[in-house]
Amino acid sequence: MITSKKPVECSEIELADFAALVRAGGEVTKTGFDGRLKRAEALLFLEQDGCLQGIAAVKNPDKKYKEGVFAKAKSTIQSGIFVFELGWVFVLPSSRGGRLSYKLVEAAVSASKGQPIFATSRVDNIAMHKALKAYGFTCHGETYPSSRGQSQLKLFLHSGAQQGAPADAEKRRG
C-alpha cells in the first residue's frame, strides 16, 4: 500500500522514517535537506505487512537547481516547463526485486496531478530506468557527473499529460 501525504500532514515519526531511508540511499546532500523535505509536494510511503519498505517524493525544486540539472544534461528543453521533480526513491535492499519502484513511480506520477515532472537517475540504475520508462518518462540530453560522487546521471522527463497504466501493463497482467 502506498500513502501519499504533504509533509505538513506527516507525523514527526513519519518524517524521521522518510529522512532515514533517504539518507540510507546515500545520494542526498545534508545541507538544506530538511528544508527541501518540508517543501515537497508529496511524500510517498510504501508499506507491506505494516512495515515501511520504500519511499519516494514529488519535490518542488527551486529554479536555480532545475536550471543547473538541465544545463548539465545539455537539455534542449527549458527547465521552467517542469513543475516537479521525482526523487528520493528508495526501496529497502531486502525488498528489491518485486517491482516496488514501479509502484512508487506510478504513485509519484499520480501525485504530480498531470504537471510535467523530471527525474535524475544514476547511469547504472537500470531497474529505475525501466520503472521510469514504464510510466512515460523519456531519457533526455547527455549523461553528466553527479555532484555527490563518482557516478554519472541521466535526466528523465515526463510531460505530465500521460497518466495511468504503464506501457507494459498488458504484459505484466498476463
Q: In this structure, are strands 84-91 and 117-122 parallel, antiparallel, or unpaired?
A: parallel
* pTM of the predicted model over 0.85: yes
- Give me the residue spans of the domains in the chain: 2-173
pLDDT of the chain along its 174 residues, tens only? Answer: 999 999 999 999 999 999 999 988 887 878 889 899 999 999 999 998 889 999 999 999 999 999 999 999 999 999 999 999 999 999 999 998 889 999 999 999 999 999 999 999 999 999 999 999 999 999 999 999 988 777 899 999 999 865 444 444 433 333
- CATH code: domain 2-173 is 3.40.630.30
